[in-house]
């Protein structure tokens, strides 16, 4: 699945629907990359939820792809990927915000598959 070009020549990000469908296919090498490269980052955030990091990462990826913050997705010509980013909050049972983070999700332009995802504290 290639990204499309608009009538003015600018790039259009791959469909989030295709990318979200690929989330269920995250296994093998891609899942290991996220686990090995960013698992501890996700684990630290999952401690706020009492759940496991894979469930939090899957939720964060899905939310970030569905509703990216303004200015995203952003195309990166250097590696032909799209970067998605969005603010997410973890709240306690009373609705108080425990922490806010901004997941980054990198998506391949050529086929819309998720390459990696990791949480950041940087809103920009």
Specify the pairing of strand 114-120 against strand 4-5: unpaired
pLDDT of residue 19: 52
pLDDT of residue 2: 42
pLDDT digit string, tens, across residues 61-71: 999 999 999 99
How far out from the chain centre does Cα 77 lie?
Answer: 18
Query: pLDDT below 70 — which residues of the chain?
Result: 1-38
Task: Please write down the long-range contacts of 89-97, taking CB distance under 8 Å and 24 or more positions apart.
Answer: 90/45, 90/48, 90/49
Answer positive or negative: Cα dihedral of 55, 64, 122, 26: positive
pLDDT of residue 1: 41
* 122 contacts 101 by C-beta, under 8 angstroms: no
Region of residue 67 (left: phi > 0; alpha: psi -120 to 50; beta: else): beta
Q: Where are the domains of the chain?
A: 14-120
pLDDT of residue 90: 95
For the whole model, what pTM was predicted? 0.76
pLDDT of residue 74: 94
């Amino acid at each position: 699945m290639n990204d499309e070009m608009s009538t003015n020549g600018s790039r259009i990000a791959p469909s989030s629907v295709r990318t979200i469908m690929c989330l269920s296919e995250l296994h093998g090498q891609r899942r290991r990359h996220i686990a090995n490269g960013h698992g501890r980052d996700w684990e630290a955030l999952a401690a706020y939820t009492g759940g496991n990091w894979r469930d939090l990462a899957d939720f964060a990826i899905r939310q970030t792809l569905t509703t990216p913050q303004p200015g995203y997705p952003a195309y990166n010509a250097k590696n032909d990927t799209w970067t998605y980013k969005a603010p997410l909050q973890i709240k306690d049972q009373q609705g108080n915000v425990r922490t806010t983070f901004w997941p980054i999700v990198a998506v391949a332009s050529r086929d819309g598959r998720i390459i990696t995802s990791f949480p950041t504290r940087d809103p920009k």
